[in-house]
Amino acid sequence: MKTIGLVGGTGWISTAEYYRIINEEVNRRRGGFEFGRCILYSLNYGDIDRCHKSQDIEGIHSLLLDASKKLVGVGAECILLCANTMHMFADRLEREIPVPLIHIGVATAKAVNGCGLSTIGLLGTKLTMEKDFYKMKLKSEGVEAIVPETDDREFIQQTIDHELLMSIINNESRKRFLGIIEKLRAKGAEGIVLGCTEIPLLIQQEHTDLPVFSTTAIHALAAVDFSLDKP
């Protein structure tokens, strides 16, 4: 079993989900008292938020690189960035660390392809929805992404910042999210990618008949595949 390195705290609530999913899945596959071998470096999200507000992009990269190197230094054999948005630095980090970085976008695209879909609606932070780093990674794997309108993107960001990162689950917010999903369906979305690891706390498959892809679960399961050497 290989050791999984988790760069978490972005935010801590979804990082806890990674830990739960990894351990439950290893035990499901191996049985007995077998659980995941992982090391967690939990960042203070306040440091990342301050970098965002001061537009210190290099500061965020430095935090992620330092965390990744420390994980490798104590035995991590792969790295997971436990947030979709942090994958804006993934290609660069891959060149700077000596172990594989398991990319959440690649794992998600494989899951979408595995269901025979090619066009999805993408929900996430504004950076994930508006910048190219995530959509182009999906596209490189044959998946086209449709994003919500400007006011809906703003609402999603506000919900992530002021509710989900604080572990607040609001039914009214869920209703608005489901309305956004219906708009994406009307634009041609065949499924919905929950491209922020906090959104699965609010939206699950039971809430819509469109296929829902939880990037948190997909990424965590990809780490288990790596750890247990599943091809």
Give the pLDDT score at 40. Answer: 98
Interval 58-80: pLDDT, tens? 999 999 999 999 999 999 999 99
Give pLDDT, residue 91: 95
pLDDT of residue 32: 97
Residue 172 and residue 85: Cα distance in Å, rounded?
25
Task: With both helix axes pointing from N to C terminus, report the angle between 215-227 and 104-114 in degrees, rounded to the nearest 10.
Answer: 100
Q: Which residues contact 61 (CB under 8 A, 6 or more apart)?
A: 89, 92, 93
Measured over the CA atoms of residue 103, residue 106, residue 109 and residue 111, the dihedral's sign is negative
Sheet with 191-194, edge to edge strand ranges: 144-146, 119-123, 191-194, 212-214
pLDDT at 231: 56
Ranges under pLDDT 70 in the chain: 231
**What spatial distance separates the first Cα and last Cα of the chain, rounded to whole Å?**
14
Looking at residue 224, its pLDDT comes to: 98
Domain 4-103+218-227 has CATH 1.20.1050.10: no
pLDDT tens for 3-33 read 999 999 999 999 999 999 999 999 999 999 9
In the chain, CATH 3.40.50.1860 covers 4-103+218-227, 105-215
Stated pTM of the model: 0.94
What DSSP element (H or E) covers 42? strand 38-42
Q: Which amino acid is at 120?
A: I
Half-sphere exposure of 113 toward its Cβ, with a 13 Å CA cutoff?
A: 12
**12 vs 166: CA distance, rounded Å:** 9
Q: Are 123 and 177 in contact (CB under 8 A)?
A: yes
The count of C-alpha atoms lying within 13 angstroms of the C-alpha of 107, restricted to the half-sphere facing its C-beta, is: 25
pLDDT value of residue 169 = 95
pLDDT number for residue 22: 98
- C-alpha to C-alpha distance for 114 and 94, rounded to whole angstroms: 25
**CATH architecture designation of domain 105-215:** 3-Layer(aba) Sandwich (3.40)
Q: What is the Cα Rg of the chain in Å?
A: 17
Q: How far apart are CA 62 and CA 168, in angstroms?
A: 30
